[in-house]
Amino acid sequence: MTITHETVATPDGVVAPRFRPPAGASSSASLSLDGEWRFRLFPHADTGVDRAEPGDDWDRLAVPGHWQLAAAPHSWPYGVPEYNNIVFPFPIEPPHVPDENPTGEYRTTLRVPADWPEGGRTLLRFEGVDSWFQVALDGELLATSHGSRLPTEIDLTDRLRPSGEHLLAVRVTKWSAMSYVEDQDQWWLSGIFRSVTLEHRPDGALDDVRVHAGYDHTTGVGTLRIDAATVAAAPGAVAARVTIPELGIEGASGEELSVDVKPWSAEQPRLYDVVVATDSETVTLAVGFRTVSIEDGVFLVNGRPIKLRGVNRHEFDPLRGRAVTPERMLEDVLLMKRHHINAVRTSHYPPHPHFLDLCDRYGLYVIDENDLETHGFEDDRGWVGNPTDDPDWTEVLVDRVTRMVHRDAHHASIIMWSLGNEAGVGRNLAHMADAVRELDPSRPVHYEGDRSSEHLDVYSRMYAESEELALIGQGIEPPLEDGDADARRRAMPFLLCEYAHAMGNGPGGLADYDTLFDRHPRLLGGFIWEWIDHGLTRTDADGNLFSAYGGDFGERIHDGTFIADGLLLPDRTPSPGLLEAAAVFAPIRIDAGADGALLVRNRYAFRDTSHAELRWTLHRGAEELASGTLDLMLDAGTEAVVRPSADLPLPEPGEAPVWWTVCAVQQKAGALEDAWLEPGFELGAGQLLLVEPAALAAPAGRVTTDADGGFRAGPALFDGRGDLRLLAGRSVHTFRVDAWRAPTDNDRGSAFWHGKSDEERWRDAGLHLLAERKTGVDLTEDGALEIGARVAGPTTRAGFATRYRWQPVTDAPDAVDLLLDVSPEGRWPESVARLGLLLALDEPRAAEAGVRWTGLGPGESYADSTKAALGGAWRHTVADWQTRYTHPQENGARRGVTSAAVSFADGTGLRIDADDVTVGARSQLGVELSLRPWSDEALERAAHPHELVPDGRLWLHIDAAQHGVGSAACGPGVLANAQLHAAPFRMRLRFTTL
């Protein structure tokens, strides 16, 4: 059979798959071929691979790398990246792809070093090539391979001349039959994007080393068995010596050794160097002893239940795409650890093997996922022709999953294998699952797409709503029709392989999900979608750098901003969502109870809290009143209630609230499992409000009238109609009640169970076009100015009846009080975006203004993302107040603000104090405050952050409340406990000129 890029067949002319030891772990010789290769791009796949020496017209291209990103961020000489989430960017007619198929021809001169070992074999290894490629040496075609995120090895032994030069040619197509099974939610990027090496394999080399390193938690004894084999024309076992130098233990391959060890877990990633040696090769592996099991529907590691508080991770760099460097991998792992993430799902393909080395070393549980997704077949015909159910694809899919297991099975961090993602159901799932279990029966098998879980060990779903999750946790979810299959599935742990879609401002509701995980033993936990925004760095026509998403490269078919859905911004700046996840996932959780106490929980599965110190402070604003430590040590999985001492020096109520804050911090460095953090690193925090701020004194001053019929109330000046024209010496551009926000990606989201999105409902109610009509202006007997108004949008009979009561403050000519009472009228949609005031002041240098506030901070928070925000006194500039989401949207709200002082560049300022805030029947501490140097309309129009330009005004939202953010871009919307409905609200505000 002639194999082409449109052929469904396993790789041809390649060496059988083998395990991959860490870099430098083998004594055998290797030579990196990374660097500049000669390159040309052709429009079609029929250019051929020949012996012709490249001429001067050939370019130079970095390997590893993607040809689309070769000159990023300034130019795209080899075609542009394309982003699709589900749909194929070509007709669905497998295995065929378009004739227009960019094909890269790579050339390099291969020189065998003079000291290259004699005998044995010499292999050429590719760690990853996207998507289909052929390899030729000196014009002779040797091999054809695929599996973009999987290794390929080719035997060059009989074709190499010692110390000679050879022309190595590689032809890579952008599209192939394999594109149908690599339809992951990511950029389409092509080329040799992982390293290429020349590797010597001595006779009797260790080509397949299977590590069996278990741990018996009942005896505290580990067991080790190393099975060693060589992969040649006739594979077979080889005898090898096995030693653990640290323990002084020696044995032989195939022998089971009992060892007194400390077990491996993500909390305590204890590794032992295990040396495996034959007469021709020595390999040193970092081995962790641990046992994975499932008992009574509960997932156990070393006999103890664990919870996976994880993320889905695509490999990504904003300039290099999936050609990630070791430095980037380490940065990811350390960021995860420092934000209390303990697990990674390698969505949706095996990662670079070095990433798994780091997960072993630093401690992350891993679901290693097969390079398989066929999502584009889920169209209006319902998975017709899906390779997962096509016998012609069986060998290819089994080849993929077994190459992954062969490569990675020695990693302690891997606790589960995944057959793939969003690839429907079919007969090939059984073949893949059987092949995995034959190679490695020690780990459970995962796959989300088959709800029956017929061939799996874990019941897995994505984006289940919290109500359904609670039923599953209790084992009372709706049954399957097949009683036996239903009973089998109910005996499985349940995993949310994707939840809490972190797109833009969000995700909301993390704490609600985490509470359910803790409450129900069957719930194993979940993986947030996803780790990082995939914004590729590029420049616009004016030279501005920005993060590009779908459509920014002129793609005909794309899925827009859906690629920007991570907890990290593209430059790896943690988003507010990651800070919220860190607070929710904290291993030592400290939460306020309803009885004036804090509940401290040790959520480690294996560690006590002896490495942590509980420090408390009593503080009012930025003033520390007292501090100390709590004498408390908790065993794994236990909890305790702590209360502030009765003799704390509580002050009388003043301008700022008094908080009792308790932080669990790392006490010392040096322990192996804590090598990645510094003393003082926060492991959890919580607080109690002990003293509320004093109520604002009654204003009691009198409003005066001006000769032109206007009114003056301290620093506020009104015209005769009651419109506010001047405040704190600055012209007022806008002042009215508001219920709209620049939509978030989640506001725009509408999964199939939502119907209309929040944004659509809000627009239907005219919230984006609210306007005010005055209904009356009166001076009261006690000297206040009362202004009646109705605020409403077009095409609706619903509105807000509004009463503003302004009154100067006695003995404070620079202060004025506003009592705002608002009542909704008519029929309103299911939710509103916000309830509060919109104020815009003329201020040419608004972005430079400083802001000091007392309230929750230091970062933004919303009704369903509150755990990371703590009460205190904080400081920002207006520019720093903003969160520069990859796609601009509502951001920056600070909640619980009782006072805020804005300092303008000219030395003047405005102070805002808040009191008597109620929404419906609920009273609350402070307001929600947002400040921007641009309007909501500009924020909504902007496609990228650099398009936002200060407009010469300071825009303030002073809200009684705001709608939560949810996860509706791909998942449940705002949960009921964080939804905002039209309701009467009241605020008392004091404005003071500084």
Active site residues: 422, 498
Which residue, among 966, 956, 978, has the nearest Cα to 881 in the 3D structure?
Answer: 956
| Helices and strands (H, E) in the chain, number of each type | 12, 61
| Enclosing H/E stretch for 676 | none
Q: For the chain, how far is it from start to end, CA to CA, in angstroms?
A: 84
Helices 510-519 and 466-474: crossing angle in degrees, nearest 10, is 10
DSSP, collapsed to helix, strand or coil, labels residue 386 as: coil
Helix, strand, coil percent content, the chain, rounded in steps of 5: 15, 35, 45
Contact of 840 with 930, CB cutoff 8 Å: no
Q: Computed from CA positions of residues 873, 878, 882, 884, in that sequence, does the dihedral angle turn out positive or negative?
A: negative
DSSP, collapsed to helix, strand or coil, labels residue 103 as: strand
Count of C-beta atoms within a 10 Å radius of residue 69? 28
> Is the peptide bond preceding residue 81 cis, with omega within 30 degrees of 0?
no
Count of C-beta atoms within a 10 Å radius of residue 411? 24
SS (H, E, C) 542-574: CCCEEEECCCCCCCCCCCHHHHCCCCECCCCCE
What residues contact residue 144 under an 8 Å CB cut-off, 6+ apart?
3, 11, 12, 13, 132, 133, 134, 135
DSSP, collapsed to helix, strand or coil, labels residue 249 as: strand
932 strand-pairing partners:
955
Burial class of residue 726 in the structure, from the number of CB atoms within 10 Å of its CB (0-12 exposed, 13-18 middle, 19+ buried): middle
**DSSP code, position 608:** -
Radius of gyration in angstroms for the set of CA atoms belonging to the chain, rounded to a whole number: 32
DSSP, collapsed to helix, strand or coil, labels residue 580 as: helix
Q: What length does the chain have?
A: 994
Sheet strands side by side (includes 282-287) = 249-252, 241-244, 272-277, 282-287
CA dihedral 841, 842, 847, 848 (to 10 degrees): -110
Count of C-beta atoms within a 10 Å radius of residue 731? 14
Burial class of residue 141 in the structure, from the number of CB atoms within 10 Å of its CB (0-12 exposed, 13-18 middle, 19+ buried): middle
DSSP, collapsed to helix, strand or coil, labels residue 789 as: strand
Cα–Cα dist 862/894, whole Å: 8
The residue whose two tokens read 């990511």 is 186
> Is the peptide bond preceding residue 507 cis, with omega within 30 degrees of 0?
yes
Which residue, among 719, 726, 750, has the nearest Cα to 816 in the 3D structure?
Answer: 726
Two structure tokens written together for 771: 């306007």
Alpha-carbon distance values, 273 to 210, 364, 735, 949 (Å): 15, 19, 68, 56
Cα–Cα dist 746/725, whole Å: 36
Cα–Cα dist 415/299, whole Å: 10
Contact of 825 with 802, CB cutoff 8 Å: no
Contact of 315 with 324, CB cutoff 8 Å: yes
Q: Computed from CA positions of residues 170, 173, 178, 184, in that sequence, does the dihedral angle turn out positive or negative?
A: positive
Cα–Cα dist 489/491, whole Å: 5
Two structure tokens written together for 205: 């080399």
